[in-house]
Amino acid sequence: NHGEEALAYLANHSVDLIVLDNNMPVMNGLETLKKIREREIEGKVLLFTVSDNSKDVQDALQLGVDGYLLKDMEPEDIIKD
């Protein structure tokens, strides 16, 4: 799937949680996140990615991401308090 498909789905459905892969074809996760925020779509947004590049993290935070998860994280680290 890609960002445009996600936006089309979100235009017609209410969700509590949106999980985006930053490495999507057509429109990546950051671009999709930007559109989600511009359209004021409800729901928490998590960005799931392989990039721990500080610029990517900073861009995601500036765009209003609710969480940033690395694909190589251990499951225990994801659920820590």
- Which residue type sits at 26? V
Q: What is the pTM of this model?
A: 0.83
- Chain centre to alpha carbon of residue 61: 10
Q: How many CB atoms lie within 10 A of CB 65?
A: 21
Distance (Å, whole) CA 17 – CA 43: 5
SS3 57: helix
Select from 3.50.50.60, 3.40.50.2300, 3.40.50.720, 2.40.340.10 the CATH code of 2-71. Answer: 3.40.50.2300
Q: Residue 19's pLDDT is what? A: 93
**22-79, pLDDT tens digit by residue?**
888 889 999 999 999 999 999 999 998 887 778 888 999 999 999 988 877 766 666 6
Closest-CA residue to 20 (of 41, 50, 45): 45
pLDDT-based confidence at residue 81 (cuts at 50, 70, 90): low
Residue ranges covered by each domain of the chain = 2-71
